[in-house]
Amino acid sequence: MKKNSAIYIAGHTGLLGSALVKVLKANGYSNILIKTHEELDLTNRLAVELFFNENTIEYIFLCAAKVGGIIGNKNSPASYLHVNLMIQDNIFSMSNKYRIKNIIFYGSSCTYPKMSQQPIKEEYLLSGSIEETSIGYATAKIAGMVGCKVNNIEYKTNRFICLVPNSMYGPNDNFDLENSHVLSALIRKIDTAKDENLESLTLWGSGMPRREFIFSEDVAHASIFLMKNADKLENSHYNLGTGMDYSIQELTEIISKIVGYNGKILWDSSKPDGTMQKLLDSSRFLAFGWNPTMAFEDGLRLTYEWYLKNKKDSCEIS
């Protein structure tokens, strides 16, 4: 991938897509193609084919997806399955038809078995039952991960690259309480508790589940690294994380300190915890010589600063 290569970022307004735009531009990549959902509905096959036919595209970062937290996934599992399958199938089909050089598809740590051995290795995929609360989204992502592998096999290419980052966070995250992930939801809830001078804040679950987090711009840098080293990759998905996880209770304490909230945190254990731990073994990818650079608390501060500047708009995302 060269500085003037034609690069399409699908889902450029989201957490990872916006980080990719920023990092690519900062590194001198100038030929970047973006379309909003209103301009291009990626679930519409005819519209997607017309887009590919009318534009020169060499590389694709497929960040577009319907994503959400426990509530969204629990309430709308069929929607999460359908929308993501449609996006993936349309982009994959056109990538083969129009001979895209490389495309990165992003899997999810929720595709691994709920009771998986920790840390989670790539080969644990499909070795057990997945978490029921994310079954629609996870099934679609599994289909995409397998799709990368079988497309490379059938079309005798290394066109499809699959990266599985653990829980991402950073500027442009979704802070809508129904559709956000745990970190951004906690930032909003704790900031609101501070604004309202609440003496206590009750959160879902036990606080005991552990999660690994990686800053969105680190994932963007890793993605560009993969594109530039596509010829060295095996036909397999690659995990990407920091190697360190935190309990939700620990995360809450760190965020409370950054936000400046001194109230008491209570836990409603009648609500679901989800998978108890999701720590990825990223050794296969890190062996290529790339490592994340953002310290967790520094990344959290940057995320909170962005949230404060964009609080009204970021809380209205659906």
| pLDDT band (50, 70, 90) for residue 178 | confident
Q: Which residues, in sequence order, are bridge partners of residue 167?
A: 213
Mean pLDDT of the chain: 94
pLDDT at 72: 77
- Checking if the pLDDT of 75 tops 90, the result is no
**Looking at 119-128, 135-144, 172-181, 218-227, which range is the least confident one?**
172-181
Q: What pLDDT score was predicted for residue 93?
A: 98
Can you give the pLDDT at residue 274? Answer: 78
Of 137, 169, 238, 304, the catalytic one is 137
Q: What is the pLDDT of residue 315?
A: 55
Q: What is the mean pLDDT of residues 44-68?
A: 96
Active site residue 137: yes
Of 40-44, 75-79, 284-288, 291-295, the one with minimum mean pLDDT is: 75-79
User: What is the share, in percent, of the chain residues with pLDDT greater than 90?
Assistant: 88
- Residue of higher predicted confidence among 75 and 203: 203
Q: For 21-32, what is the mean pLDDT?
A: 97
Q: Residue 313: what pLDDT?
A: 67
Inter-residue contact 48 to 160 (CB < 8 Å): no
Percentage of residues of the chain with pLDDT beyond 70 = 98
DSSP state letter for 109: G
pLDDT at residue number 275: 83
Give whole-number Cα distances, 1 to 58, 149, 161, 231, in Å. 8, 21, 14, 11
d(CA 13, CA 18): 5
pLDDT, residue 181, reads 84
Q: Is the pLDDT at 171 greater than 70, yes or no? A: yes
Please give the Cα distance from 100 to 96 (Å, whole number): 7
pLDDT at 317: 40
The pLDDT-based confidence of 314 (bands split at 50, 70, 90) is low
Closest CA to 99 of 142, 48, 60: 60
Closest alpha carbon to 183 in 133, 243, 135, 248: 248
The CATH code for residues 7-314 is 3.40.50.720
User: What is the pLDDT at residue 105?
Assistant: 98
Longest alpha-carbon distance in the chain? 61
- Tell me: pLDDT of 312 over 80: no
- Kindly tell me if the per-residue pLDDT of 236 is higher than 90: yes
Lowest mean pLDDT among 78-87, 90-99, 136-145, 264-273: 264-273
Residue 71: per-residue pLDDT: 77
Q: What Cα–Cα distance (Å) separates residue 239 from each residue in 191, 219, 221, 283, 287? A: 32, 11, 14, 8, 12
Give the pLDDT confidence of 87-104 residue by residue, as tens digits. Answer: 999 999 999 999 999 999
pLDDT score of 27: 96
